[in-house]
């Protein structure tokens, strides 16, 4: 079908109009790396005023190799799929198609360009099969969970999705709840965690919960209490390795200077933050400060040999403490590598 | 199984298949179809359909081999005793109030009081071996702290707001009591997901059949359906085979509500949830309208169940939710606003348009 558009232009003039095979975008031509070495030769040849070799001649604007054509076509195909409902949603509501094409591109801008995130220890994540990723939680707004899942999806060799476990407050809120489900999240409860792990998923959990996200700026990088260790018993019951992860940078995005408790109670929120920019600058206060982020995945802690002790509170607490210690030490090491929170 | 084939008996009697089956609720399509199906099974000698209301003419045609008794469930004890019934299939459970027949009051009367009376009669029946009860996945209630997938062991976290869901909880409570008193009777509780199919007419299929479909703003619940033919198969096997316990019956997989509406080619109109709840409450107080808290809660929370137990125990896998819903769409293509092939044509037209414009631009330069 692309030949039809190309046909009328196949005159002598077409040689210099379609040299490198990209359409003019905003008046300037985007130079793309050639699809194959032959193209590069043809490119140079046409620049010298010679006719390119006939088989390469149709490498014009609307050939399948063209990046913008591909993008427009795949965008339209995505739109058609969405409008016709021709996509799959899993039993937790995870919409891989939407995550891949909408959520991750947006998150990638934040994690790569805004927060300049560096990721270490990706090799500690399981290539396939279940894994429980346990991280520190901070930042007033739980952007760290989203950045973690974006970084993991981008850097993991199998481009795996992290299935986040969220507080029920998230699932109480309209719109937010559906974004959470469609991006792979579900309510933090043992049946869901064990089900996901049993299916061989990579599950992300933040045992500090709101105690971690809603802590004062002066408490930054001090891990809070780890709850009842429900995440440990879920890992033990399914024999899933625990991968502690330390996230540095989220503490500085919305430094919480005060918590207006009466307002929080009024709105039914766990805290009402006051940051240097919120609520003073109004909507501008929503822009996170561009801190420098480091994410370190620590070596996995195997649990398969403890499967029969999932109900022993001593085992659960010890393991929970071990995970907490690992994250705290990794945080200290990362902070030494990043003396300036807003370093480039 | 010690089935003695080739004997001069008129039918092969497998030890599990009961001789006389009583089916309640035959004035409604599900009850009538189950009764007709059981009557067509040569292993079952006699099928008696009980209902307080005469079935409609289109259902009477189905009920050829079924003996009909016009009675309410209050007189069930005499019927079950007189017939020496060996199995009772209780399908006289209404999912939505019928305004022509007494509304919510009559619905509760039939669902709760009717089940109580039927179970009391069953408790007295000496020859009864099997009891099959129609329940619903509404038994899991609706709460924001619910797990994503319900197994049969999940307890509801809150008492649901909807009338039907409350009735279901009551009914299951009575069955639990019955199981304690008559442990030797095989009691099967089937928690069905909402029925769909090309031929069936329920509150939910009428909802999806509208060209413009109201949804709850900011919510996109996960839904599961079961094809009505698969539901019939499971009910049939529950009578002829031995499957005590509680089972989720649903098609594998999930459709998001928005996705289902798009697949059906309908248009969704999001409505604010408080407005919808208020409307549902208002409609209930006026006893008009088809939608109540049952529907609002389903469309806020969604409902997904695990069917592993059914598949393992029955050796039967219902068709998937998506396949069941496709069958429903094929039967209701009339109200379609947007069709998939129209979208594909539009996509092609846009791509061609871009190519033409660009070709023209490059021609000029």
Residue B29, pLDDT above cutoff 70: yes
**B88 band by pLDDT with thresholds 50, 70 and 90:** very high
Average pLDDT for chain A: 84
**B281 band by pLDDT with thresholds 50, 70 and 90:** low
DSSP one-letter string for B270-328: EE-HHHHHHHHHHHHHTT-SS--HHHHHHHHH---B--HHHHHHH---PPPHHHHHHHH
Tens of pLDDT, residues B201-260:
888 888 888 888 888 889 999 999 999 999 999 999 999 999 999 999 999 999 999 999
pLDDT of B290: 59
Q: What percent of chain B has pLDDT over 90?
A: 53
pLDDT of B240: 94
Q: How far is B213 from chain A (nearest CA, A)?
A: 15
pLDDT of B77: 81
Do A8 and B338 count as a contact with CB atoms less than 8 A apart? Answer: no
Do A168 and B259 count as a contact with CB atoms less than 8 A apart? Answer: no
Residue B119, pLDDT above cutoff 80: yes
Which of B273, B344, B358 faces A174 most closely, judged by CB atoms? B273
B217 interaction partners in chain A (CB closer than 8 Å): 174
pLDDT of B285: 57
Which of B149, B261, B363 faces A195 most closely, judged by CB atoms? B149
Contacting B residues, span 8-37, partner chain A, CB-CB under 8 Å: none
Lowest-pLDDT choice from A5-14, A263-272, B116-125, B153-162:
A5-14
Do A80 and B352 count as a contact with CB atoms less than 8 A apart? Answer: no
B356 interaction partners in chain A (CB closer than 8 Å): 5
Tell which residue, A207, A185, A193, A186, has the closest CA to residue A238: A193
pLDDT of B237: 96
Q: How far is A180 from chain B (nearest CA, A)?
A: 11
Residue B16, pLDDT above cutoff 90: no
Write the class of the CATH domain A96-253+288-337.
Answer: alpha beta
Which of B253, B304, B343 faces A84 most closely, judged by CB atoms? B343
Residue B350, pLDDT above cutoff 60: yes
Q: How far apart are the first and last CA of chain A?
A: 47
Tens of pLDDT, residues B54-78:
898 889 988 988 999 998 888 888 8
Residue A162, pLDDT above cutoff 60: yes
Residue of chain A nearest B303, judged by CA positions: A91
pLDDT of A57: 46
B302 interaction partners in chain A (CB closer than 8 Å): 93
Do B218 and A174 count as a contact with CB atoms less than 8 A apart? Answer: yes
A1 vs A79 pLDDT, higher one: A79
Instruction: Work out whether the CA dihedral B263, B264, B266, B272 comes out positive or negative.
Output: negative
Q: Which two tokens stand for residue B36?
A: 């007709």
B304 interaction partners in chain A (CB closer than 8 Å): 91
pLDDT of A65: 56
**B173 band by pLDDT with thresholds 50, 70 and 90:** very high
Q: Any CB–CB contact under 8 A between A25 and chain B?
A: no
pLDDT of B289: 55
- Pick from B140, B148, B340 the residue to mutate for testing the A interface (most A CBs within 10 Å): B148
Q: What angle do CA B138, B143, B147 make, to 5 degrees?
A: 85
Residue A34, pLDDT above cutoff 60: no
Mean pLDDT of B107-113: 92
Residue A100, pLDDT above cutoff 90: yes
Do A8 and B147 count as a contact with CB atoms less than 8 A apart? Answer: no
pLDDT of A87: 93
Residue B9, pLDDT above cutoff 80: no
Contacting A residues, span 43-102, partner chain B, CB-CB under 8 Å: 61-62, 72-73, 76-77, 79-80, 82-93, 95
Cβ atoms of residues B247 and B210 within 8 Å: no
pLDDT of A63: 53
**B35 band by pLDDT with thresholds 50, 70 and 90:** very high
**B293 band by pLDDT with thresholds 50, 70 and 90:** confident
Distance in angstroms (rounded) separating the CA atoms of residues A275 and A302: 40
**B354 band by pLDDT with thresholds 50, 70 and 90:** confident
**B14 band by pLDDT with thresholds 50, 70 and 90:** low
CA torsion B284→B285→B288→B293, rounded to 10°? -10
Which of A62, A95, A195 faces B355 most closely, judged by CB atoms? A62
Tens of pLDDT, residues B180-209:
999 999 999 999 999 999 888 888 888 888
A178 interaction partners in chain B (CB closer than 8 Å): 218-220
Q: At what angle do helices A230-238 and A190-198 cross, to 10 degrees?
A: 30
pLDDT of B282: 65
B218 interaction partners in chain A (CB closer than 8 Å): 173-175, 177-178
pLDDT of B164: 92
Contacting A residues, span 91-130, partner chain B, CB-CB under 8 Å: 91-93, 95
Contacting B residues, span 96-155, partner chain A, CB-CB under 8 Å: 144-149, 151, 154
Lowest-pLDDT choice from A101-110, A191-200, B344-353:
B344-353
Q: What angle do CA B315, B322, B341 make, to 5 degrees?
A: 145
Enumerate the β-bridge partners of residue A163: A203
Do A89 and B260 count as a contact with CB atoms less than 8 A apart? Answer: no
Residue of chain B nearest A86, judged by CA positions: B263
Do A5 and B355 count as a contact with CB atoms less than 8 A apart? Answer: yes
DSSP one-letter string for A51-101: PPPGGGTT-STTSTT-HHHHHHHHHHHHHHHHHHT-S-B-TT---HHHIII
Residue A4, pLDDT above cutoff 80: no
Do B254 and A174 count as a contact with CB atoms less than 8 A apart? Answer: no
Burial class (CB in 10 A: 0-12, 13-18, 19+), A245: buried
B260 interaction partners in chain A (CB closer than 8 Å): 85
Q: Which two tokens stand for residue A5?
A: 């558009």
Residues across chain B = 365
Residue A109, pLDDT above cutoff 70: yes
Which of A4, A9, A85 faces B262 most closely, judged by CB atoms? A85
What is this model's ipTM? 0.86
Average pLDDT for chain B: 88
Mean pLDDT of A78-104: 94
Query: How many residue contacts between A and B have a Cβ separation below 8 Å?
Result: 117
Which of B217, B222, B340 faces A89 most closely, judged by CB atoms? B222
Domain positions in chain A are 96-253+288-337
Which of A76, A85, A195 faces B350 most closely, judged by CB atoms? A76
Residue B3, pLDDT above cutoff 70: no
A97 interaction partners in chain B (CB closer than 8 Å): none
Cβ atoms of residues B76 and B45 within 8 Å: no
Residue A262, pLDDT above cutoff 90: yes
């Amino acid at each position: 079908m692309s030949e039809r558009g190309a046909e009328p232009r196949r005159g002598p003039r077409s040689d210099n109009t379609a040299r490198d095979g990209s359409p003019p975008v905003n008046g300037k031509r985007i130079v793309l790396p050639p699809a194959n070495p032959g193209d590069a030769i043809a490119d140079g040849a046409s620049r010298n005023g010679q006719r390119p070799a006939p088989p390469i001649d149709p490498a014009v604007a609307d050939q399948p190799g063209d990046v913008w054509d591909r993008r427009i076509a795949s965008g339209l195909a995505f739109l058609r799929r969405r409008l016709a409902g021709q996509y799959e949603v899993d039993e937790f509501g995870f919409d891989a198609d939407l995550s891949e094409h909408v959520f991750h591109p947006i998150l990638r801008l934040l994690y790569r360009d805004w927060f300049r995130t560096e990721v270490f220890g990706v090799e500690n994540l399981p290539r396939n099969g279940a894994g429980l990723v346990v991280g520190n939680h901070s930042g007033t707004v739980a952007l760290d969970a989203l950045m973690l899942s974006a970084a993991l999806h981008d850097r993991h060799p199998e481009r795996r999705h992290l299935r986040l476990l969220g507080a029920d407050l998230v699932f109480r809120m309209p719109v937010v709840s559906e974004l959470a489900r469609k991006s792979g999240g579900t309510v933090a409860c043992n049946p869901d965690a064990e089900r996901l792990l049993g299916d061989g998923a990579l599950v992300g959990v933040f045992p500090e919960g709101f105690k971690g996200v809603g802590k004062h700026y002066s408490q930054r990088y001090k891990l809070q209490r780890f709850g009842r260790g429900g995440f440990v018993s879920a890992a033990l019951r399914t024999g899933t390795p625990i991968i502690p992860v330390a996230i540095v940078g989220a503490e500085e995005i919305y430094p919480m200077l005060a918590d207006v408790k009466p307002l929080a109670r009024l709105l039914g929120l766990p805290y009402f933050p006051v940051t240097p920019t919120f609520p003073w600058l109004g909507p501008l206060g929503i822009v996170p400060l561009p801190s420098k982020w480091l994410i370190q995945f620590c070596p996995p802690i195997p649990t398969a040999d403890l499967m029969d002790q999932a109900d022993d509170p001593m085992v659960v607490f010890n393991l929970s403490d071990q995970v907490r210690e690992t994250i705290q030490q990794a945080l200290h090491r990362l902070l030494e590598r990043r003396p300036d929170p807003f370093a480039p | 199984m010690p089935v003695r084939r080739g004997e001069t008996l008129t039918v092969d009697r497998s030890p599990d298949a009961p001789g006389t089956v009583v089916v309640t609720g035959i004035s409604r399509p599900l009850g009538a179809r189950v009764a007709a199906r059981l009557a067509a099974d040569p292993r079952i000698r006699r099928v008696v359909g009980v209902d307080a209301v005469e079935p409609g003419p289109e259902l009477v045609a189905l009920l050829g081999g079924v003996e009909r008794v016009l009675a309410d469930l209050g007189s069930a004890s005499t019927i079950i005793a007189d017939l020496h019934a060996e199995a009772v299939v209780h399908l006289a459970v209404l999912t939505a109030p019928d305004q022509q027949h007494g509304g919510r009051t009559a619905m509760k009367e039939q669902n709760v009081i009717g089940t109580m009376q039927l179970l009391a009669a069953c408790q007295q029946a000496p020859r009864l071996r099997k009891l099959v009860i129609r329940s619903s996945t509404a038994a899991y209630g609706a709460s924001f702290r619910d797990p994503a997938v319900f197994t049969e062991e999940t307890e509801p976290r809150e008492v649901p707001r909807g009338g039907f869901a409350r009735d279901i909880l009551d009914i299951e409570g009575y069955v639990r009591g019955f199981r304690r008193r008559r442990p030797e009777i095989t009691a099967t509780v089937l928690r069905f997901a909402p029925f769909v199919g090309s031929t069936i007419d329920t509150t939910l299929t009428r909802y999806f059949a509208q060209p413009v479909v109201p949804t709850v703003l900011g919510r996109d619940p996960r839904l599961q359906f079961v094809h009505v033919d698969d539901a019939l198969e499971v009910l049939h096997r529950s009578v002829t085979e031995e499957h005590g316990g509680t089972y989720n019956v649903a098609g594998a997989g999930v459709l998001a509500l928005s996705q289902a509406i798009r697949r059906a080619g309908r248009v969704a109109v999001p409505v604010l949830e408080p407005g919808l709840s208020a409307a549902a409450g208002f409609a209930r107080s006026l006893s008009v309208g088809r939608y109540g808290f049952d529907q609002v809660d389903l469309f806020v929370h969604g409902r997904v169940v695990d069917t592993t137990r059914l598949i393992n125990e029955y050796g039967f896998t219902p068709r998937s939710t998506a396949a069941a819903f496709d069958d429903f769409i094929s039967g209701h293509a009339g109200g379609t606003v947007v069709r998939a092939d129209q979208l594909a044509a539009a996509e092609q037209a846009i791509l061609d348009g871009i190519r033409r414009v660009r070709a023209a631009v490059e021609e000029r330069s």
